[in-house]
Structures are given as C-alpha cells and as structure tokens.
Structure 1
Amino acid sequence: MEILINYDKQSYSMDIEYIKENYRFETLTGEHDLSNFKCASDDLNDFLKRDALTQQKSKLNLTKLVMCDDTIVGYVSLLTDTVPLRDIRDEDTKQDIKDQLDITSKKRKLPAIKIGRFAIDEKYAHKGLGSEILMSVLFNVKNIAEDNVGLRFVTVEGYASAYNFYTNHNFINLKKDDDKIKEKLDVIIERNPEQTFYLYLDLRVLE
C-alpha cells in the first residue's frame, strides 16, 4: 500500500487502487471522527458534520460512510422518495408500468430511493472512486429491491457540476430541464455549480 504522508500527521492520502479494493460502508454514528473529511463542497461538508446524524436519529435519512482502514474517504446519504409516472421519459416503460398497475392516470407516484447527499474526500476525487462507490450503492439498492421491498427507481438532486457524472451512469433528467441543460449547462456550472437538477435511474438498466 502506498501512503503519502503530509505535514499534518492526521492527514494522509492512500493509493486509490488500494481504496477501491478495500473500502467498506459503515453507518454513521456519534463515534466517528468527521473532522478530517473535506470535499469540494462546503454544503456537503456541513451536512455531514452538522446535520447528518441528527437527521438520521429522526429517521429522515441514513448516512453511510465510505471507510478504508480508519479513514473516511466519502459518504452517501439515502432516504425514500417517489417518482411521478408522468416524469418517466421512456414511453414503453411508462406504458408497461401503467399496464402492470392497471391505471390510466399519469399522476401515480412510483417507489424510489433517493441519494440525498454523495461526496468523496477531495484527496480522492476525480480518480474513479466516485464511480466505483456509486455503482456499489446502486447494486446494493437493486438487491434491496429484489429481496426486501418493492422499488423501481433511484433519484438524485445532482449539482450542475455533477450532472454529467450522473448521466454517464444512466441517470436521466426531467423533461422540464431539457432546454436549460442543453443550452446553458456550462453557464450554469460557471455561475452556480451547486444548482441542483432532479434525475432518476431505472434499476432495470442494471440487469
């Protein structure tokens, strides 16, 4: 294992391939030391350190830390959600669901799990770890859908700066944002990289 020691004895950078082979998920508790975690977003840092545990205790979300050895390399916060049938873009999928549910209204809401927050420590960002973790989360959700509770979709309110990251992993934006994204995404990222867009993924793409 390659370990690079910085001036701060409490801060170090592990080899990214070592992390990919050895990371694990741990549910956030009051025993975890969050002080050294820092990603590129102050909002995501503040959520983890100030709000995540309180909200978790209130059953409003569940935060999983991505751990490698004793280091927090990232985190993901999950909660339940729904997707209105009318927002499903693929017409064949929409019609199949309507047939299965024996409904005609597009107002029906479909069960989903939402990625409320997702962050990778800046020491390990832009090295493929985010993709590795996201796919692991998605397959874990797929297993839950197969063995524990019925759900079909994963949703996320992704930052504009992360829009392409999510679409590269089969997430789809809502139709209402099409023109804005097509014409102005670069401008939006420059002006406000943390502006959010609602996206969803059909778990069947993982089959």
Structure 2
Amino acid sequence: MDIEYIKENYIFEKLNENHNLDDFECESRDLTKFLKEDALNQQNMNLSLTHVVICDETVVGYVSILTDAMKLKILEDKETKDKIRTKLNISENNVIPAIKIGRFAIDRKYANKGLGKHVFRNVLLSILDISENIVGLRFITVDAYATAFGFYVEKHKFKYLKKDQKKVDDLDRIIKINPERSFSLYKDIKSI
C-alpha cells in the first residue's frame, strides 16, 4: 500500500479478538510481542486500552494508552513547573494527572516514511480532546526506547526528566549497546 493512501484512509479501532495481527511486525520484537500476546489481556484487565491503526483491513500500527501521574519535582522544564506550582499554590511533591502512551508502533513495512509522525499527531490531538472534554490531565508521558528518543524529543517536543541528563548525553552509545533502554519523557498538554 502507498503511504499517502494510508495517511488518507487509516482509522483507529479498539483492539478486539477479531483483528488479524499475524502479519504485523514492527522494528521492535518487544512491541510486536506486546500487541500479539499481551495487549488484549491488559485491555480486558482494564490496565490499558489499545487501538490498532487499520487501512483496508490491514493493521499498520497501534497505540496503547493508560493513565499516569507525575510529581512536579521530576520535571526538567523549570518554567512549566513553576507556572503550575504558582497558579495552583502547590508544592513540588504534588502529583499532577497524566495520560501515558504505553506503546506506539508502526509496522516495519510502513516505518520511516512519515506514517508514524502522521498517526502520532492524531494520537496527540485525541489526547488533547480528552483533556478538554472528558477528564482533566496536564501531561502526556511515554517511556521511549533509546532508538525512538529523537522521534519523541525532536519531532514531537517531548522533554526528558532532569535525572536523565547523563543518559541523554550518552545516547549514541546507549543505542549501540541497548537500543531498548527506556527514557521517561513528558509533554505538557498545553504545548500541543
């Protein structure tokens, strides 16, 4: 399938047992395994909710979302931290509601062609809609693999936690040694 065609015609569907996942394979064995073996079980246990990205009945990607929370003191972004703390008159130890993108993947046949960025932008817009109309939340969090760090930080302006500065400085080496080492990242919902 042509990438531009997929961008114009994909839909999100809540994962169910009728979706054919046999041909889905992304760059990460862990992310592929999660979709095929764990996502539906976690969804049935109300731990996360997974939506598959479908075009013409083919699963081209997926996103798994769950709730989360963050303490203000772990934020790297001092300006955002101070603004929230001052406006709400709270301490750095207060917990702020968040939503977590637990997993996000595009099938390797369609990866690195702009589809992931397109789909992810729609995921962010959906989360923004949720925050404005369904439930209050301030941050989007993700535990990103080292290989996906640029996707989140450079393309989508996520920030890393202040405790991870040394890991970020050593990112190239980490990618070579352990590409699935994760970084805790966050994005202020107000920046979408």
**What TM-score comes out, normalization by structure 2 length?**
0.97
Matched, 1:73 2:60: yes
Which letter does structure 1 place at the counterpart of 2:78? E
* 1:56-105 C-alpha deviation (Å, 9 max, x unpaired): 000000000000111000000000001111122332322221233222x2
Matched, 1:89 2:76: yes
Can you give the 5+ residue segments of structure 1 that lack an aligned partner in the other structure? 1-13
DSSP 3-state at the match of 1:39? coil
Which letter does structure 2 place at the counterpart of 1:162? A
Hey, what does 2:30 align to over in structure 1? 43
Hey, what does 2:171 align to over in structure 1? 185
Find the aligned partners of 2:82 and 2:96 in 1 and give their Cα distance. Answer: 13
The runs of at least 4 aligned residues of structure 1 exceeding 6 Å deviation read none
Find the aligned partners of 1:37 and 1:71 in 2 and give their Cα distance. Answer: 9
Which letter does structure 2 place at the counterpart of 1:173? Y
Can you give the 5+ residue segments of structure 2 that lack an aligned partner in the other structure? none
Find the aligned partners of 1:120 and 1:36 in 2 and give their Cα distance. Answer: 12
Which letter does structure 1 place at the counterpart of 2:18? E
DSSP 3-state at the match of 2:184? strand
DSSP 3-state at the match of 2:140? strand
Find the aligned partners of 1:88 and 1:174 in 2 and give their Cα distance. Answer: 5
Which letter does structure 2 place at the counterpart of 1:18? Y
Identity of aligned residues (%): 54
Which letter does structure 2 place at the counterpart of 1:190? K
Hey, what does 1:203 align to over in structure 2? 189
Hey, what does 1:61 align to over in structure 2? 48
Q: Does the 8 Å contact 2:160/2:184 carry over to 1?
A: yes
DSSP 3-state at the match of 1:125? coil
Matched, 1:25 2:7: no
DSSP 3-state at the match of 2:135? coil
- Measured on the aligned residues, the alpha-carbon RMSD in Å equals 0.9
Matched, 1:113 2:99: yes
Hey, what does 1:11 align to over in structure 2? none
Which letter does structure 1 place at the counterpart of 2:51? K
Hey, what does 1:16 align to over in structure 2? 3
Matched, 1:135 2:101: no
Alignment length (residue pairs): 191
Hey, what does 1:99 align to over in structure 2? 86
DSSP 3-state at the match of 2:157? coil
DSSP 3-state at the match of 1:82? strand
Matched, 1:176 2:185: no
What is the Cα deviation at residue 118 of structure 1? Answer: 0.6
